[in-house]
Amino acid sequence: MPDLIESCRVCPRACGVRREADKGNGFCRRGAEPEVARAALHFWEEPCISGTRGSGTVFFTGCSLQCVYCQNYEISAEHKIGKTVTAQELSDLFFRLVEQGAHNINLVNPTHFAPGIAEALRLRPLPVPVVYNSGGYESLETLRMLDGLVDIYLPDFKYMDAELAGRWSGARDYPERAKETVLEMARQTGPVVFDEDGILQRGTIVRHLILPGHTRNSIAVLDWLAENLPAGVQVSLMAQYVPCGRAAEFPEINRRITRREYEKVQQHLFLLGLDGYVQELQSAKKDFIPPFNLEGVSP
């Protein structure tokens, strides 16, 4: 899909820059070739993704959202670390993770590099499921290009409130794009399928992170998901918010969520009868943020 990159419309921002020539001029400030900050086994995803051997997690540098509170801010917005890789090098990196026992290849924040990642996936099919783990802000054209290459979608659905989406992610259109995104992902994968050990092989799990002081936003997200998701799509309610990145500049989100906030949203999820996962409140600590140090990027 070179034209997606030549006048970039890989994500909904549609900056229109030539990613090869004008490297750095789009919102994500990244060139066309994927840039990787870490590739290692990771044990902090939902149990059906991490399993017992870990998820082969590949963290990409840069982001088309750059939320002010991002737990990976040092790579998503500050680009402190990252190595540019060719499609062949990326494919080789995936296979090294498979050799280490990874249950899947988990592409974290892949959106802005989707064309390059697709090229790597086409070079040599993987023997384990491919997980596309994104912020939920996708263009339908890019998603359709990925159809058949991705087995599991793991999108966020962060906001139903356009004002919050504008303030913290610079994307007032996030709610509309996220709705299209999760429906297209669900259409591609169909219902969840697990192997005999309970490891997810195919399907879509929509994640929602509870933000401090904004349970109404969370409840609106869950209401929309309950009304609109096809059967067999799961929801993962996340309580792991800790202030990171530039959160200190926004006093209302410069704290963890309270037990009361957590229970209010959790009870609403139960009331709606949504199928999926609920993270413990104790998960709200920085231990789950791995070091970004180029581990696993080179042979």
Stretch that binds ligand SF4, among 3-11, 235-243, 279-287, 290-298 (CB under 6 A): 3-11
Q: Does residue 28 touch ligand SF4 according to CB under 6 A?
A: yes
Distance CA 225, CA 243 (A): 26
Q: Does residue 118 touch ligand SF4 according to CB under 6 A?
A: no
Q: Does residue 169 touch ligand SF4 according to CB under 6 A?
A: no
User: Among residues 14 and 193, whose Cβ is nearest to ligand SF4?
Assistant: 14
> Per the structure block, which two tokens stand in for 219?
């409840």
Distance CA 48, CA 159 (A): 25
Stretch that binds ligand SF4, among 26-34, 155-163, 247-255, 258-266 (CB under 6 A): 26-34
Q: Does residue 9 touch ligand SF4 according to CB under 6 A?
A: yes
Q: Does residue 10 touch ligand SF4 according to CB under 6 A?
A: yes
Q: What is the DSSP string of 64-87?
A: SS--TT-TTHHHHTS--S-EE--H
Q: What is the DSSP string of the chain?
A: -HHHHHTT-SSTT-----TTTTTT-STT---SS-EEEEEEEE--S-HHHHTTT-EEEEEES--SS--TT-TTHHHHTS--S-EE--HHHHHHHHHHHHHTT-SSEEEES-GGGHHHHHHHHHHS--SS-EEEEE-S---HHHHHHHTTT-SEEEEB---S-HHHHHHHHS-TTHHHHHHHHHHHHHHHH-S-EE-TTS-EEEEEEEEEEPPTT-HHHHHHHHHHHHHHSPTT-EEEEE------TTGGGSGGGSSPPPHHHHHHHHHHHHHHT--EEE--GGG-SGGGS---S-TTT--
Q: Which of 50, 57, 61, 64 binds ligand SF4 (CB under 6 A)?
A: 64
Stretch that binds ligand SF4, among 9-17, 74-82, 205-213, 257-265 (CB under 6 A): 9-17
Stretch that binds ligand SF4, among 24-32, 76-84, 170-178, 187-195 (CB under 6 A): 24-32
Q: Which of 1, 2, 6, 8 binds ligand SF4 (CB under 6 A)?
A: 8
Q: Does residue 26 touch ligand SF4 according to CB under 6 A?
A: yes
Q: Does residue 11 touch ligand SF4 according to CB under 6 A?
A: yes
User: Among residues 2 and 251, whose Cβ is nearest to ligand SF4?
Assistant: 2
Stretch that binds ligand SF4, among 5-13, 68-76, 183-191, 259-267 (CB under 6 A): 5-13
By CB under 6 A, the residues from 191 to 250 that bind ligand SF4 are none
Minimal CB distance residue for ligand SF4 = 26
Report, in Å, the least distance between residue 162 CB and ligand SF4.
19
User: Among residues 8 and 87, whose Cβ is nearest to ligand SF4?
Assistant: 8
Judged by the rule CB under 6 A, the positions of this chain that interact with ligand SF4 are 8-11, 13-15, 17, 26-28, 64, 112
